Amino acid sequence: MRWILFFFMVFAAVVTSHAFGSDVFDVVFKAEHGGDVVFSHEIHTKTALVNDNCKVCHEKLYRTKSTRPVTMAEMEKGKSCGACHGKVAFPLAACGRCHSIRPITFTVPVVGDVNFLHAPHTKTLSCYACHTRLFKTGRNPKVTMAQMEQGKSCGACHRGGKIFPLVQCYRCHLAGDLLMKVQGAGPVTFSHGYHIKTYKCTDCHQKIFPLNYVTPRVSMYEMNAGKSCGACHNDYTAFTTEENCVRCHDM
């Protein structure tokens, strides 16, 4: 009986001392400009190829104390992750499955910032469709709308056809509400969101309103003559400026 008890004690000690690959913590690789990569030992050791056998990768592919970063060019030649990814696992070109890509905010004065979201783009495009053909990883030089209209930057795709054109400014630019103070009357809050449901941005800019926040003050008499808001609020296109004042002025 003592020998049986001793056997079970030794067996339990051996089992509990064994460190399974799934018990090893995640490793975070800092990728300059490309978004960090979080390597999960648990996900990889549960695959049929590894099956909790750490020696499949260590020390054959990875040395335990190695700290030298491996480039994507080396991976494409079969080094590091490239030993499996592209052969027995998803290809390296599926960058978003490893790299932590994030939204990018482009600060655009006057017309509103642009939040670029990777997620809706990577649903239909591979990362290589843009990087590094159109955009290098990291900070890129500013591009004007005129350059985009010639096919640069976002304009390489957003020129109509299957993807919405550049003239649909509101779909990218975050044009918020404008508060216009009025002497002797309540202020007017202009809502871009409300107006773009009916009009295009080019219906007003730059034809009626210049693209800046410092627009000259226009009197109600000038509006009644067709200036500023009066270009549309003439009782034909929209309600007239001569009545329904509370529809614009916050009394």
pLDDT digits (tens, 9 = 90+) for 166-220: 888 888 988 888 888 888 888 999 988 889 888 888 888 888 888 765 667 888 8
Q: Which residues of the chain have pLDDT under 50?
A: 1-19
Four-CA torsion 76, 122, 135, 81, nearest 10 degrees: -20
Q: What pLDDT score does 174 carry?
A: 84
Give the predicted TM-score (pTM) of the model: 0.62
Fold of 104-171: Cytochrome C3 (3.90.10)
- Three-state DSSP at 119 gives helix
Q: List the domain boundaries for the chain.
A: 21-95, 104-171, 178-247
Q: What pLDDT score does 41 carry?
A: 92
Homologous superfamily of the 21-95 domain (CATH): Cytochrome C3 (3.90.10.10)
C-alpha to C-alpha distance for 81 and 78, rounded to whole angstroms: 7
CATH of 178-247, one of 3.30.200.20, 3.90.10.10, 2.40.110.10, 3.30.420.40: 3.90.10.10
Residue type at position 11: F
Going by the DSSP 8-state scheme, the letter that residue 229 receives in this structure is: G
